[in-house]
Chain A
Amino acid sequence: MNSIAEIQQKVRNTNQLRITNYEKDCEDELLNMSSYSGVVEYFPEELVITLKAGTTIDEVNKVLSKNNQALAFFSVNSEKTIGSLFATSGAEFSDSVLGVQIINGKGELLNFGGQVMKNVAGYDVSRLLVGSMGRLAIITQISLKILPTKVAMQFQQRPSIKNKESSLRLEIEAKLKKVFDPYGVFI
């Protein structure tokens, strides 16, 4: 997948889709996002970097280190893509998230948040989707707050123990899935 239009087309033409960042053997129709990668924009003095979802942490680190900057969260496996970390992480990751571009289950391209540190216009959808496991929308692009390496070391948080899900919470999550993916495309 190399372009937004292609991905949108695939969402519209497929009944069920599993988003992944690597090739694997399975029955489901896969959407491999690993080739949709690269730095979209990087402004060192703004402390902001915007990445396509398939960009690996290694690639990001390489770009940031040239300016003595770093991601403000800890990643155990730097071969992972930023999109997969987004999909599987919690608050320690979402603290760095400033904005996302997504494709919802209807194939619509949507933007939430942006490239600024402060933005309270509308619900915080970009941080809501952190941890959504690819089941609500395709994350195509992510803007992150970054820090000078020395400061980042001070603030880098490790993932912490997770709470069990409650039934009321699952009920809300199911409703929110319908908001983004009304036809149940993303599995």
Chain B
Amino acid sequence: MSIISELTKALPKNSVISGEENTRPFECDGLSVYKQNPLAVVLPTNIDQIKKVLKICKKNNTPVVTRGAGTGLSGGALPLKDSIVLGLSKLTRILSIDPEGQTAIVEPGVRNIAISEAVEEYGLYYAPDPSSQIACTIGGNVAENSGGVHCLKYGLTVQNIEAVKILTIDGKELLFSRQDEGLGLLALMTGSEGLLGVISEVTVKLTKKPQLAKVIMAGFPSVRECANTVSNIIKMGVIPAGLEMMDKFAIEASEAFAKPGYPLDAEALLLCELDGSDDQVSEDLIKVLEVFSEATSVRVSKNEDERLLFWKGRKSAFPAVGRLSPDYYCMDGTIPKRYLAEVLEKISNLSKKYNLRVANVFHAGDGNLHPLILYDAGQLGELEKAEDFGNDILKICVDMGGSITGEHGVGIEKLDAMCHQYNTAELNVFHQIKAAFDPFSLLNPGKAVPTLHRCAELGNMHVHHGNLPHPELERF
């Protein structure tokens, strides 16, 4: 019996999708330059069905690619030719809400925003807010350790979950909680990109809605002055709820698209959100306005509508830039904030070298850059050029003491860049952790961690703290 008929037999009607036409909607995730049809897509509606799927896949030695809403930007949910896609978008129940304890237990297919909507009546919300929050699922958020614009103050997914239930490839259920004694297995699961287990239930932490939130929008005459202001805000002892920066190109694109009233004469824009009690916000506001003395224009949101309008421009920056080019490639490197201006200059030089335009949008508060490289996939060689440009940016991030990915994950996209960030011994640790959970490598194989062979082929000599591997060897 083929695996498709085995799955069809084990699951309720219409749970298994097969055939090239039918599986096409699942051929890619948010990184649509890579496409692949899987053997089949299964859409279970409860945990018992997931267990059955895993059991059948294990028996047939068939890889499993777990998928939430498919909004990921690194190809983490890209199907493999011989794999099953395990779609969890039908597990959408909110199982319980504990307003006193400020937690909620939800199934993995619950959308990020749906959690906040469900707990709104208690004055609570779920803090991490990736841009895709209206569509992305909490299971996917845990798998990627998703961020958003409020991480500096409220943390990433890892700091905002209380527990996860996972299913191992053997279909065994494990519960990892913040209250556990021993190793940090909850943190290990968070951001493991579907390689260690299938997330089957999540207990999220809920945050009290602040009494007041205000956004200060400021235009700056240069990127450098804007970047320095970011550090100065932190030096004043203020932790903004959000601190976002955009360059001129991104400002113009967003203004044309969303009309939030951004200053078109500015070289760089800063959006700084302050939240908390009325007193706290007023106190912080005075400090921030003092730091904004170099700004060419400053506006403070007068009401909730205006606050949301200021954010609308930033939140629609990607589609706004997307209108100006047939294709764009979004990067996700992180750097220590003190190098912001320097890195932006380097990116601008690379833009000239590759002759590709780039718009810069980033979470300045935590040094997470999102350069958008504009290219035209219709032109021969331009995608490759954009990817080379992107890889150069990631190398700069690593060399500055940062990381190749702050919140989008490695997936299939950044495997080569991983060779630059980690040495052989470190990559070996990752491979062995994978083997400890999934010895036959059936869960999302080939993603997130490059094979040592791949890194060797790239000839990507890893240089860590200025130390070359095998210094005894002569080099030419």
Contact = CB atoms under 8 A, between A and B. Distances in A.
Interface of A: 43-48, 68, 90-92, 94-95, 104, 108, 110-112, 114-125, 127-132, 136, 147-151, 160-166, 168-169, 172-173, 175-176, 178-180
Interface string B388-409: 0000000000000111111111
Nearest to B426: A110
B338 A43 contact: yes
A117 B188 contact: no
A163 B180 contact: yes
A123 B430 contact: yes
A117 B334 contact: yes
A122 B158 CA distance: 14
B183 A132 contact: yes
Contact of A124 (B187, B410, B418): B187
A43 B336 contact: yes
B403 A114 contact: yes
Contacts of A131: 181-184
Interface string B178-218: 11111111111011100010000000000000000000000
Contacts of B235: 44-45
B190 A128 contact: no
Nearest to A45: B231
Interface of B: 144-145, 147, 151-153, 155-156, 158-159, 172, 174, 177-188, 190-192, 196, 231-232, 234-235, 237-239, 334-338, 363, 366-368, 401-410, 414, 417-418, 421-423, 425-426, 429-430, 432-433, 436-437, 448-449, 464
A150 B237 contact: yes
Contacts of B363: 118
B224 to A, nearest CB: 15
Contacts of B181: 90, 131, 162-165
Contact of B338 (A46, A122, A163): A46
Given A46-B336, A151-B153, A169-B174, 20 more contacts: A45-B337, A91-B178, A91-B184, A104-B429, A110-B425, A118-B151, A118-B156, A121-B422, A123-B188, A123-B191, A124-B158, A124-B184, A127-B187, A128-B188, A131-B183, A160-B178, A166-B174, A169-B182, A172-B174, A178-B432
Contact of A120 (B152, B179, B405, B437): B405
Contacts of B184: 90-91, 94, 124, 127-131
B403 A161 contact: no
A180 B155 contact: no
For the complex of A and B, list the 7 residue pairs with the smallest distance between their C-beta atoms, beginning with the closest. Answer: A118-B406, A127-B187, A117-B366, A91-B178, A175-B436, A148-B237, A119-B403
A120 B408 contact: yes
14 contacts: A44-B235, A110-B426, A117-B366, A119-B403, A122-B421, A122-B449, A129-B184, A131-B184, A151-B237, A160-B178, A172-B437, A173-B182, A178-B436, A179-B433
B177 A163 contact: yes
Given A90-B178, A121-B414, A179-B436, A116 B336 contact: yes
A176 B433 contact: yes
A186 to B, nearest CB: 13
